[in-house]
Amino acid sequence: LDAATSRGVAGVKVELKQTGTTVYRTTTDELGNFVVEDLKGGAYTVYYSLPGDFALPYPQPLHKPFQLTAGGPPVKLDARMIQAARITGHVVDGKGDDVPNAPLELIGSRSGFRGNADSNGEFHQDLFPDAFLLSAAPPLPLKPPKPEPRGDQVLNWTRTYYRRTAARETASKIVLRPGQAIEIELKLLPVPAHAIRGVLLMPDGTPVPHAAITLMKNSVGLPRFATESK
């Protein structure tokens, strides 16, 4: 059934599995009904899928494993599916130019996405309807922004949350409803940059040339900066 309309969903693939292996397959009719007959006795788990059009309201499998007894009464199963939502976006810099391959993070309470924008700074994703926090980080390397007019403060790009804030606490949530498709633009935010200089040494004091150095925030998340020692 469609969770929003309670109407049957046609063309849903139904798979019955035992120990992770599919042993029976069928497809729902125009009213969303399906029947699998002549099953052998044993424990089964059922999975439903309709790629590209619907998402399940709960992680699969929707039903707990159930036991069938040969010659016993039939088992009746009901499942409700909900239309997926789609977000399409574009990551740009301060001038509105594309930011290719920008690392993305979309966080919801039941689903999410981590990946990268394409070579044009664009992305799209089908998701379970939910409220999401969207952020993009500057890819490495990305040319730093120019200083503000009449200023000498060095700037650099930072992870930016929708709508253009560097703080997750002040980010705006993107609410996606069943079947909804939205388009957004996420513009990276420039912030004052600071320098960190150091020397990498072996325990005996010998310098370590060409070592990969990555700066992380609180030791978690995506790299904020990467270079190598001289």
DSSP notation for 186-217: EE-EEEE--------B-TTS-B-TT-EEEEEE
Query: Residues of the chain whose pLDDT is less than 70?
Result: 52, 57-62, 148-151, 217-230
Supply the pLDDT for residue 223: 47
Strands (E), 28-154: 42-49, 54-55, 66-68, 82-83, 85-92, 103-107, 112-116, 122-127, 130-136
Supply the pLDDT for residue 218: 58
Supply the pLDDT for residue 5: 87
Supply the pLDDT for residue 162: 95
Supply the pLDDT for residue 57: 63
